[in-house]
Structure 1
Amino acid sequence: MLRNDAPLVDRLRYIYIRRKGPVYAAISDVIDDQYPKEPRPLIIKQIKLADKAHRFLIHLPPGKGFDEFKKKERLFADATGGSLLIEKRGTTIIMEVLTEELKKSYPYSLYDHTKYNSMHLPFPIGMSAKGLLVRDLAEYPHFFTGGETNFGKSNALHVIANSILLSRPDTYLVIVDPKSTEFAYLEDYALVVDEMQHAKILFQKLNHEMDKRKKILKKANCVKVQKYLTQGGDMPFIIVIIDEMAELQDKETIDHLWRLLRMGRFTGIHIIAATQRPSSKVFDNFGDVKAMFLGRLAFICADSINSHMILDNDRAAHLEAIQGRAIYKCGLEMIEVQTLFLDPEDAAMLLKDSKDRRLKKVDFFINQPSERLPPRQNLALPPGGMPGSRHRPN
């Protein structure tokens, strides 16, 4: 509230910014409070995107850094009563504000996979200030999620697995499930490994498959599988979901996994890993490996240390204790989201009711001597042939 004895110029400015609207005024008040000395950041334009959604273009004067401004995101969110996304484009800051707070739950039915045929491996991240975020796993190339138990990690994995199966049924899906029961409903559509002694054999065979794919791509003069597909080649994506990465204690198993993380992306092999508390005590070189997970999703963390392990900042330690609430980060993009909720029973019905009859189980036996992924059931291949993919990017 402005003091009655404030200078005339301040009183006129106070009236002006409030005529611009409550959201404009809230942001301006935070700027005035956090930058009391001139020069201060300046709102140069306000754009109404939709009901309760606004975009602000903000100019930073010389000497004021973007990183410092972005750290105040929580203050802006509290002042506007909503959720925000702050990005930098050139010398201008883009601040998008949704003045309606995120709900505590959003159903998976909000996601329509048929709208994202231009993506290779689409899946929804969650609802945010920008609306529903949908990303392409093939562009990451690997994805990591972590946080305290019972706050949404397993649900996020269900969402990713089912989204890919529904939109790209030719994809090979492999799930390492130490709990044995979490992904049992997917055994007709994916290889579910629930015995850790088999994990080493699995990753060993995936490395052999990766090496064979590298030779095929080199011969076709393709630097990655996406280009190979556009030229008419057959090379289905392989998605490996690891529900609790900390359960992988065998050194040889971890070495095989690290190699897939380093080189698998170009051959269409993508890793999605989850763990409750990532730590260098569990993985000797987790700090280095973390850099390979460009996409990250952090649910509420017990402390700043665990949040830093996932996001390189403490934002996940200050999340509200809401199941499904998380911080999504990819490169410079970072935003609070509420992940979509998908009950495993509903997921099983979605797959069962799918009109696409190409949904097949990965016919892959851990104990067989073969060194590569075999074809799907009822799909014969010529000697030396690769598993076929009917998917072509639009």
Structure 2
Amino acid sequence: MRLYRRNYNKAGKYTEYVFKIPLGLELKDFVDKHGKFKDGLNNRSARRINLKDFRNLKFDATLPKQIRAILENRVQLSKEIEMEYDGMLIMRVYDEGLQQSYDLTPEIIKAAKSWQVPLGVTLKGQVVHDFEKGPHILIGGATDMGKSNILNVIITVLLSNQPEDVEFTLIDLKGGLEFGIYENLPQVKNFATNAEEAKTALENVKDEMERMFNKLRSTGKKNVKALGVTKRHFVIIDESAELSSSGEQDREEKALKIECENLIKDIARRGRASGIRLLYCTQYPTAETVSSQVKRNLITRICLPVDTATASTVVLDEGGAEDLPLIQGRAIYKRNRCTQMQAYYISDEIIDKTVKPLIRIRPRKEERYVPLRKETPEKGGSYTTRFEET
């Protein structure tokens, strides 16, 4: 292979190599050997002197030994490789890979604009997801790999930056333990912990969606942004596998879950125009728990470590997540292409500081929605918009 260019990027801390791919080979041939390239780069250690260690020297008989240890200190290399193709093979070798943790700070939260949410860090920089451009997200990953932390990041950032305009339907099918802290917020319009409650919550969301579609049709607008509506309603389903009808033996329970599945499919298909955003999450990514109809409308994907290539394919439509290191928060974020990231870690302290003032200042209303059927005239007539003071 002929090397056309080699540059070191000081700001990005990487060396970029540009090659011409020989005839008969393609990018996939190199991507498939990513692990071998990485192991070859990191099969040795490098000397690293930390000047701060000199501050802790003890001036006694062991001083020469201490200085020798500092000067001879070696660390295992942890270089990382990225590859892409634009007519030439571009390989970037980063001096260091991703850290195992990056804290979400108030400064990072405040820097996010409009409906943007900072999700994590890649080798190239920050991942910021814009829910106006990618309204729905499919999130999958094995147990205890950081899925709930990502959801807490999204909820907290939205509450912090859009407290007047954000609304939530939280369906927590793990007993309400993950989302319990948010239950009494005025922004939470529906809260469910089982299939029966989930059905009611999803029906409420569908009623809201239909009301907005009626308004859009009557005004000739195509979506809520064109209509000037600033509110956005986020439907977050944690552990959607609990709503899967596949394998359910009880007839009534199966019928109930089928209704939930149909409601979710409808929200995924039509929710965008009406200002509804769907976050569909599961720790059991299979073809049964993540239907093709839902996947088609959830373009953005986040996959944390999974145990098989099949599970990775269910979430990402390709393998890769099965090879992620078993680090909480390590994930593949996919919009147009897959990018490995380390999700931000959000502390309970930041969540509490965001949530508690909202509960105290704006107490929860008991009445949520007026069902659509009570507002729709039986024959003809016109639609009347009713405003209620909260």
TM-score (norm 2): 0.74
CA drift of 1:46 comes to 2.8
Which AA in structure 2 matches 1:275? T
Identity among equivalent positions (%) equals 27
- Separation in structure 2 between the aligned mates of residue 239 and residue 186 of structure 1, nearest angstrom: 13
In structure 2, the residue matched to 1:377 is none
CA RMSD after TM alignment: 3.2
In structure 2, the residue matched to 1:196 is 195
List per-residue Cα deviations over 1:368-389 (Å, max 9, x = no partner): 65239x9xxxxxxx9615799x
In structure 2, the residue matched to 1:318 is 323
Q: Does structure 2 retain, via aligned residues, the 8 Å contact 1:84–1:129?
A: no
1:167 aligns with 2:161: yes
Match for 2:262 among 255, 266, 283?
A: 255
In structure 2, the residue matched to 1:346 is 350
Q: Does structure 1 retain, via aligned residues, the 8 Å contact 2:3–2:17?
A: no
Which 10-residue stretch deviates more, 292-301 or 205-214? 205-214
CA drift of 1:136 comes to 0.6
Give the alignment of 1:145-184 within 5 angstroms: 145-169=139-163, 170-178=165-173, 179-184=175-180
Q: Does structure 2 retain, via aligned residues, the 8 Å contact 1:173–1:362?
A: no
DSSP-derived class of the 1:291 partner: helix
Q: Does structure 2 retain, via aligned residues, the 8 Å contact 1:83–1:128?
A: no
Which AA in structure 1 matches 2:385? G
Equivalent pairs, count? 328
In structure 1, the residue matched to 2:136 is 142
Which 10-residue stretch deviates more, 153-162 or 212-221? 212-221
In structure 2, the residue matched to 1:82 is 79
CA drift of 1:331 comes to 2.2
In structure 2, the residue matched to 1:287 is 292
CA drift of 1:275 comes to 0.6
In structure 2, the residue matched to 1:273 is 280
- Separation in structure 2 between the aligned mates of residue 304 and residue 324 of structure 1, nearest angstrom: 19
DSSP-derived class of the 1:309 partner: helix
CA drift of 1:107 comes to 0.9
Which AA in structure 1 matches 2:275? G
List per-residue Cα deviations over 1:149-198 (Å, max 9, x = no partner): 01101111111111111112211122101221211111224243223212
Which AA in structure 2 matches 1:202? A
Give the alignment of 1:227-246 within 5 angstroms: 227-228=226-227, 233-246=228-241
Structure number with greater Rg is: 2
- Separation in structure 1 between the aligned mates of residue 103 and residue 29 of structure 2, nearest angstrom: 36
CA drift of 1:141 comes to 2.2
CA drift of 1:307 comes to 1.4
Relative distance call for 1:199 and 1:248 in structure 2 (3 A) is same
1:327 aligns with 2:336: no
Structure 2 portions without partners, runs of 5+: 42-77, 245-256, 376-382
Q: Does structure 2 retain, via aligned residues, the 8 Å contact 1:138–1:268?
A: no
1:336 aligns with 2:331: no
- Separation in structure 1 between the aligned mates of residue 142 and residue 118 of structure 2, nearest angstrom: 21
TM-score (norm 1): 0.73
List per-residue Cα deviations over 1:213-235 (Å, max 9, x = no partner): 2233344443333333xxxx234
In structure 2, the residue matched to 1:99 is 95
Relative distance call for 1:364 and 1:247 in structure 2 (3 A) is farther
Match for 1:115 among 105, 111, 117?
A: 111
Match for 1:52 among 13, 36, 53?
A: 13
